[in-house]
Amino acid sequence: MKGHLYKFTLEHLEDPKGNAITAEPVTFEARNHDDIFKILESMKGKMALSDSDAREMAIGIKLFGEVMLRNPENELFQQLRPHFMVFMKGLKKS
């Protein structure tokens, strides 16, 4: 599969009460047809979101969207795809 290859690491730092967590990080690689770093840059100052919220949203959408593209036969994705496409068009216009 062609595309940009990214390595993600997720660390659980603390629980809802602020207690430190010592769980092993989760690391995985994912390919994406888009340059996520360019998208992160373009998200700055959009949609009245903080930079942190914009990064979270952009990365989440890109990871989810790529999985949905790779699995078009999945019934759940088939139901969501038209709505996701409308959302993405609106996001790109903002």
Q: What is the pLDDT of residues 41-53, one digit of tens each?
A: 988 877 788 889 9
Mean pLDDT across 9-29: 97
CATH class of 4-93: alpha beta
Predicted confidence band of residue 12 (pLDDT cuts 50, 70, 90): very high
User: Mind giving me the DSSP string for the chain?
Assistant: --SEEEEEEE---B-TTS-B--PPPEEEEEEESS-HHHHHHHHTT-TT--HHHHHHHHHHHHHHHHHHHH-TT-HHHHHHHHHHHHHHHHHHH-
Mean pLDDT across 51-72: 94
Mean pLDDT across 17-32: 97
Predicted confidence band of residue 70 (pLDDT cuts 50, 70, 90): very high
CA atoms within 13 A on the CB side of 20: 1
Residue-level pLDDT at 7: 98
Q: What's the alpha-carbon Rg for the chain, to the nearest Å?
A: 16
Query: Residue 49: what residue type?
Result: L
Q: Which single residue is written with the structure tokens 């914009």?
A: 54
